[in-house]
């Protein structure tokens, strides 16, 4: 779920501390200003998380981090200031009123002497305006700042903040004008220059008499923006107001988004910060779930597998041996199978990782190492993720370097999910402590390993992205292909499999015979027809298609390929095309039903092989489906011998309905 929330449309602060347009204050005034800042202004901090479950390709270069930063037990988040002996004001985004976290402890204020005072209760706030008033346990400010409800154009001011976490400083600035609130201009933000440094958010914008005319909230490349003090004074003293205008979209529906759906919540105060977060986060998650449900439902007949936009995808067959996605083309509005451009990483023991990224979600085909059993791969999520991280590069930016992560450790949670077609997915969650993020992995087994989707997101956004990943699971094409020995290991993991697979059987003796049973499909052949070895490739490829008016995930293509020679066969379920598809589909079907080339049982040469094809289970052109059978043998084979081989192969295949 992409939540396109716009509270202001401007980023948090970041500049250098030199090159200011305004003149520095005289020495005496500067001394008084610093006294005021030291007495009335504070850092907003949170305890540093010491735990790190991650493993890196090399040690983190902590020696490159400044001494005071790496030895600080707290992380600076922003700035706050006293407006009464027991009342403090900051920007609401500094205290993250709707956020959820697994890691970070209570927020606190830290004074000039390094004393820390936990935030105890919120007294008033307005998330859209971006301010919060609160109390702190044990803190009585030695000095507080008065709010001034007016300001003047070109007025000289001081922007105060804990810039870059280096302590509280004042930067001379000048008021250049105003900027209207982005939704409907209900208030004006103060625009000043230069832009403030990171960590200034929540700090005061002071006039020459050290009165507060604004609360620093955001910046762009050229200017800083502050909420006028009058907006705080005019807000209810015992209310907390949440408002966000949200648009929803889905990554596989490019170009589409929902109508705005406002999130509004009002709380009676005072309340502890933790309680406000809990209430607000739960309400926001539920609002987003309903909004996304409404957006998805609004697609109606235009969402796969419904309507005419899906007809071509249900008729076509995805012939890929790797994961693919169904997506809706933004130009013609039709659903298609993707052709994901994948990068490939080769690992020891014949393992491979194929990976691609769509809208920040990583899609993976993992071919397991020969020395890892299916039981180990499916039963050990740490092993699975470690293999993935050997095939893709996930870095941690640290001291100007990108340090590769090679292990996330063990997951902190797991779950299971059955998609709309009853395919089984495992869900695992890993904590990324340094960023308060979570890695979500949805995976499902395949004969040669597994396919998966992987998303890194803020812990606060976990529910939103999990919603998306589950919806995406319905649109994933899963390849069932592997060697015979891989198939046997795969089918032994019945508790992890798509239910129809739990009764499937692949029985073989190298150099002797092979028998495959899958639902009402049977294949039985011996070594005189194909060389049967452990590494012979068997594909039992499923697809989405219409079966008697119902969309199913069912067997669509069977293939068998020798290990050492290019001898193989492919049998494919042809579907009679519905009305309304391009004329080419009907033409292809008519040729198939008439046994036109290459299904006319006449051998022909191609690419150093001899090929022959036929049609099975088709009574006439009005039949709803039929099966093709295509046999290829390496070298030049006499026509009569090829026909004999085809006849023998036909007797080896049994299809049900």
Same domain membership, residue 495 and residue 409? no
Kindly report, residue by residue over 154-178, the tens digit of the pLDDT: 999 999 998 877 789 999 999 999 9
pLDDT of residue 255: 85
State whether 329 and 206 are in the same domain. no
Same domain (yes/no): 205, 345 = no
468 and 449 in a common domain: yes
Q: Are residues 463 and 485 in the same domain?
A: no
- Beta-carbon contacts of residue 358 (< 8 Å; ≥ 6 apart): 251, 252, 325, 338, 340
Mean pLDDT calculated for residue range 107-112: 96
Same domain assignment for residues 167 and 286: no
Task: State residue 657's pLDDT score.
Answer: 57
Judge whether residue 27 has pLDDT over 70. Answer: no
Long-range residue pairs from 464-469, CB within 8 A, at least 24 positions apart, any chain: 464/1, 464/3, 464/285, 464/288, 464/292, 465/1, 465/440, 466/427, 466/440, 467/1, 467/288, 467/289, 467/292, 468/1, 468/2, 468/250, 468/251, 468/361, 469/361, 469/440, 469/442
Question: Does residue 150 belong to any structural domain of this protein?
Answer: yes
> Of the given ranges (94-108, 265-279, 308-322), which has the lowest mean pLDDT?
94-108
Q: Is 303 inside a domain boundary?
A: no
Round to whole Å and give the CA distance between 302 and 371.
46
The whole-angstrom separation of Cα 244 and Cα 250 is 19
pLDDT at 25: 60
d(CA 539, CA 318): 13
Taking alpha carbons only, the member of 522, 502, 321 closest to residue 423 is 502
One domain, residues 163 and 15: yes
Q: What is the pLDDT of residue 24?
A: 53
Is 3 inside any structural domain? no
Would 1 be classed as within a structural domain? no
Q: How far apart are CA 517 and CA 653, in angstroms?
A: 10
Q: Which of 260, 277, 298 is the last residue of a domain?
A: 298
Contact present, 219 and 14 (Cβ < 8 Å): yes
Give a yes or no: residue 2 inside a domain.
Answer: no
Cβ contact 109:80 at 8 Å: yes
Give the Cα separation of 225 and 180 in Å (integer).
11
Task: Please provide the average confidence, as pLDDT, over all residues in the chain.
Answer: 91
Rounded distance between C-alpha atoms, residue 169 and residue 34, angstroms: 8
Taking residues 461-475, report their average pLDDT: 96
Rounded to an integer, what distance in angstroms lies between the CA atom of residue 637 and that of residue 526?
Answer: 19
Residues 84 and 203 reside in one and the same domain: yes
HEC per residue, 34-89: HHHHHHHEEEEEEECCCCCCCEECCCCCHHHCCHHHHCCCEEEEEEEEEEECCEEE
Which single residue is written with the structure tokens 């991280």? 389
Provide the number of structural domains found in the chain: 4
Last residue of a domain, one of 477, 493, 521: 477
* Residue 226 shares a structural domain with residue 249: no
85 in a structural domain: yes
Q: Please indicate, yes or no, if residue 269 is contained in any of the structural domains.
A: yes
Domain that holds residue 636: 481-654
pTM: 0.90
Last residue of a domain, which of 462, 477, 492? Answer: 477
Tell me, yes or no, whether 38 and 122 share the same domain: yes
| Residue 5 resides in a domain | no
542 pLDDT band (50/70/90 cuts)? very high
- Indicate whether 365 and 277 sit together in one domain: no
Q: Determine the distance from the C-alpha atom of residue 490 to the mean position of all C-alpha atoms in its chain, rounded to a whole number.
A: 28
Per-residue pLDDT tens digits for 519-540: 889 999 999 999 999 999 999 9
* Mean pLDDT in residue range 441-458: 97
What would the mean pLDDT of 404-430 be, rounded to a whole number?
A: 97
Longest dimension (CA), the chain: 107
pLDDT, residue 16, reads: 26
Express each pLDDT in 210-226 by its tens digit.
999 999 999 888 899 99
Per-residue confidence band for 105, with pLDDT thresholds at 50, 70 and 90: confident
Containing 291, the helix (H) or strand (E) segment is helix 273-298
Q: How far apart are the C-alpha atoms of 121 and 275, rounded to whole Å?
A: 9
Specify the 3-state DSSP secondary structure of 488. helix
The domain that contains 30 carries what CATH number? 2.40.10.120
φ/ψ of 397, rounded to 5, equals -75, 120
Let me know whether 254 and 144 are in one domain.
no
Return the bridge partners of 631, or none.
569, 612
Plot region of 399 (φ>0 → left; ψ -120 to 50 → alpha; else → beta): left
CATH number, position 333:
3.40.1000
Q: Would you say residue 22 has pLDDT above 70?
A: no
């Amino acid at each position: 779920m992409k939540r396109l929330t716009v509270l202001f449309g401007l980023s948090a602060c970041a500049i250098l501390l030199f090159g200011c347009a305004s003149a520095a204050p005289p020495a005496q005034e500067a001394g008084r200003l610093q006294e005021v800042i030291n007495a009335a202004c504070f850092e907003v901090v949170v305890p540093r998380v010491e735990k790190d479950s991650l493993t890196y390709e090399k040690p983190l270069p902590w020696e490159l981090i400044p001494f005071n930063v790496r030895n600080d037990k707290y992380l600076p988040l922003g700035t706050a200031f006293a407006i009464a002996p027991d009342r403090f004001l900051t920007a609401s985004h500094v205290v993250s009123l709707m956020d959820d976290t697994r890691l970070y402890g209570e927020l606190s204020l830290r004074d000039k002497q390094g004393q820390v005072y936990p935030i105890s209760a919120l007294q008033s706030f307005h998330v859209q305006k971006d301010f919060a008033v609160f109390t702190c346990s044990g803190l009585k400010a030695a000095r507080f700042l008065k709010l001034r409800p007016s300001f003047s154009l070109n007025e000289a001011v001081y922007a105060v903040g804990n810039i870059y976490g280096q302590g509280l400083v004042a930067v001379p600035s000048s008021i250049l004008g105003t900027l209207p609130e982005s939704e409907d201009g209900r208030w004006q933000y103060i625009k000043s220059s230069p832009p403030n440094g990171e960590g200034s958010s929540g700090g005061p914008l002071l006039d020459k008499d050290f009165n507060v005319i604004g609360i620093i909230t955001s910046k762009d490349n050229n200017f800083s923006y502050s909420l006028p003090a009058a907006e705080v004074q005019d807000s209810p003293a015992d209310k907390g107001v949440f408002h966000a205008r949200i648009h929803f979209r889905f990554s596989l529906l490019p170009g589409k988004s929902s109508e705005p759906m406002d999130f509004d919540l009002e709380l009676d105060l005072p309340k502890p910060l933790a309680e406000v977060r809990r209430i607000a986060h739960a309400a926001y998650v539920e609002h987003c779930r309903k909004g996304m449900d409404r957006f998805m439902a609004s697609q109606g007949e235009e969402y796969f597998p419904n309507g005419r936009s899906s007809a071509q995808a249900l008729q076509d067959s995805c012939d890929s041996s790797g994961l693919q996605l169904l997506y809706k083309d933004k130009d013609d509005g039709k659903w298609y199978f993707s052709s994901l451009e994948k990068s490939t990483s080769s690992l020891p023991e014949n393992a491979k990782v194929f990976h691609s990224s769509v809208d920040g979600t990583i899609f993976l085909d993992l071919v397991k190492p020969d020395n890892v059993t299916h039981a180990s791969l499916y039963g050990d999520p740490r092993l699975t993720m470690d293999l993935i991280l050997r095939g893709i590069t996930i870095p941690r930016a640290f001291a100007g370097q990108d340090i590769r992560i090679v292990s996330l450790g063990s997951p902190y949670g797991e779950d299971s999910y059955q998609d709309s077609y009853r395919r089984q997915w495992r869900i695992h969650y890993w904590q990324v402590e340094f960023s308060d993020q979570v890695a979500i992995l949805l995976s499902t087994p395949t004969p040669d390993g597994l396919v998966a989707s992987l998303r890194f997101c803020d812990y606060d956004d976990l529910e939103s992205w999990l919603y998306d990943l589950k919806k995406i699971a319905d649109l994933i094409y899963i390849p069932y292909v592997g060697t015979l020995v891989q198939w046997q290991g795969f089918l032994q993991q019945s508790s992890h499999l798509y239910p129809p697979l739990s009764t499937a059987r692949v029985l073989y003796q190298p150099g002797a015979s092979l028998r495959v049973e899958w639902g009402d499909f049977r294949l039985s052949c011996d070594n005189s027809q194909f060389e049967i070895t452990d590494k012979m490739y068997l594909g039992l490829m499923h697809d989405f298609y219409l079966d008697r008016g119902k969309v199913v995930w069912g067997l669509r293509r069977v293939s068998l390929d020798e290990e050492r020679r290019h001898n193989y066969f492919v049998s494919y379920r042809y579907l009679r095309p519905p009305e309304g598809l391009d004329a080419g589909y009907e033409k292809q079907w008519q040729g198939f039903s008439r046994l036109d080339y290459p299904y006319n049982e006449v051998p022909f040469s191609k690419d150093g092989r001899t090929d022959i094809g036929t049609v099975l289970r088709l009574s006439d052109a009005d039949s709803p489906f039929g099966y093709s059978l295509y046999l290829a043998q390496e070298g030049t084979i006499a026509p009569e011998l090829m026909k004999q081989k085809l006849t023998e192969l036909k007797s080896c295949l049994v299809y049900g309905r």
